[in-house]
Amino acid sequence: MTPYRILLCDLRSDTLLDALPVDGVQLDDYIGKTGRLTGTVPIPNRGIAERARRALVPGRTGVWVERGRDIWWGGILWTMTPASDARGFLSVQIQVGGWESYLYRRRLFDTQVAQQVDQFDIVRGLVDYVQNSPGGNLGITYDDDVSGVTRDREYLRYDQAAIGDLVDQLAAVERGFEWRIGSYRDGDGRRVKRLHLGHPVIRGAATDIVLTHPGPILTYALPTDATVKANAWQSRGASINTNQAADSYPLTSPVLVADDDLAAGWPRLDGTSDYTTVEQQATLDAHARADWSAARNPVQIPEVTIRLDSTVTPALLGSTVRLRIRDLWHPDGLDARYRVVGMSITPPARGQAETARLYLEVPE
């Protein structure tokens, strides 16, 4: 059984404060969504209570998860709740958001303008804006790769937008990208927070991992969800009004309709999206085309729960797995490839094996 450790560090300096036992740990990691860790720190005596009070400071404590000597996850302690049960046993419940959560707590208070700048450089510029402000440097690193897609963007200080929202909006436009902040230990043993950018998606290992049921797959779910399908789409932008005496109306994209869907017998299904800070028609139209393209096919988000072994680590995010399933629903056998876009780890506990739930998508 590989031990897990929770390292508690000063968020800004990454100085180690303590390492406390945590029960009931559940940690998630995703592409395109902020991961989360929850758990309970038992408080059996006054000494542990004093250490916990000193190290568990919401908003100031960084949390790293070690599995063996490897860093598997990292984030920021945002909430803690000391609680006593009916028998007087004291514990502290903690909730930790991935490093990405910090970018949603920072606002743009200075106008930023980019003209024909690679979209990756725009993201790195926003991260630099965050980290160059007094008290804002968390030590997030990045490389200098480019996507080959240039953008014109003007982010106004009057909007006071969250930095994370600006990155998400830029990523979601046509010919956009994926992003996440990964955690690992480098060759010198240092803990690293790394911004990963991928166009059009983040890619992992080149070799497929084969998972079978019966076999390593303990449970699976292969839903097909048409509740978010739309074959007709229109997006709305900012309100444009140069005449104060006239009514104000939002900028709108053309209505996009998938005529081939209707010809194939699908009913018309409408969808919309709002971009209240977008004032350029071309930018809004690019958002509309990207949203419409994503919504045209019923969304399938398979989930498989597997026994954790040496082939499965957080580095698997972006990689491709091959599912081979044979059962009553798949009497002839399913053999399909999926990309891993999320992972939920359940460490071993008494009477419970160490497992990982993988969230998948059909690769393009």
- The pLDDT profile of the chain, 364 residues, written as one tens digit per residue, is 456 889 999 999 999 999 998 988 899 999 999 999 999 999 999 999 999 999 999 999 999 999 888 899 999 999 999 999 999 999 999 999 999 999 999 999 999 999 999 999 999 999 999 999 999 999 999 999 999 999 999 999 999 999 999 999 999 999 999 999 999 999 899 999 999 999 999 998 777 889 999 888 999 998 888 888 999 999 999 987 766 666 778 999 999 999 999 999 999 999 999 998 898 999 999 999 999 998 998 767 789 999 887 778 888 899 999 999 999 999 999 999 999 999 999 888 777 788 999 999 876 6
Q: What b/e readout covers 133-164, taking b as 16+ CB neighbours within 10 angstroms?
A: eeeeebebebeeeebeeebebebeeeeebebb
pLDDT at residue 244, rounded to an integer: 65
What are the phi and psi torsion angles at 293 (to 5°)? -60, -40
- 355 and 213 belong to one structural domain: yes
Question: What is the helix (H) or strand (E) element at residue 247, kind and residue range?
Answer: none
- 146 and 255 belong to one structural domain: no
Answer for the pair 323, 338: CB distance below 8 angstroms, yes or no.
yes
pLDDT at residue 242, rounded to an integer: 64
pLDDT at residue 364, rounded to an integer: 60
Range of the domain at 125: 106-198
- 157 and 255 belong to one structural domain: no
pLDDT at residue 146, rounded to an integer: 97
Is 48 part of a structural domain of the chain? Answer: yes
- 285 and 304 belong to one structural domain: no
Is 113 part of a structural domain of the chain? Answer: yes
pLDDT at residue 347, rounded to an integer: 84
Please tell me the distance from the alpha carbon of residue 55 to that of residue 191, in angstroms, as a whole number. 18
Structure tokens at 92: 């502290």
- 214 and 353 belong to one structural domain: yes
- 192 and 112 belong to one structural domain: yes
Answer for the pair 322, 208: CB distance below 8 angstroms, yes or no.
yes
- 14 and 71 belong to one structural domain: yes
- 141 and 82 belong to one structural domain: no
pLDDT at residue 143, rounded to an integer: 96
Answer for the pair 326, 320: CB distance below 8 angstroms, yes or no.
no
- 85 and 18 belong to one structural domain: yes
- 265 and 283 belong to one structural domain: yes
Output the pTM of the full model: 0.86
pLDDT at residue 99, rounded to an integer: 98
**Domain ends where: 295, 312, 337?**
295
pLDDT at residue 202, rounded to an integer: 94
Is 203 part of a structural domain of the chain? Answer: no
- 148 and 270 belong to one structural domain: no
Is 204 part of a structural domain of the chain? Answer: no
- 19 and 131 belong to one structural domain: no
CATH number for the domain spanning 186: value is: 3.55.50
Q: Which residues contact 128 (CB under 8 A, 6 or more apart)?
A: none
DSSP string, 101-165: GGGGS-B--S-EEEEEEEHHHHHHHHHHHHHHSTT----EE------S-EEEEEE-GGG--BHHH
In the 8-state DSSP scheme, what is residue 353? -
**Domain ends where: 49, 79, 99?**
99
pLDDT at residue 73, rounded to an integer: 96
Is 127 part of a structural domain of the chain? Answer: yes
Of the candidates 51, 64, 60, 67, the residue with the CA atom closest to the CA atom of residue 1: 67
Is 166 part of a structural domain of the chain? Answer: yes
What is the domain count for the chain?
Answer: 4
CATH number for the domain spanning 92: value is: 2.30.300.10
Q: Is 224 helix (H, G, I), strand (E, B) or coil?
A: coil
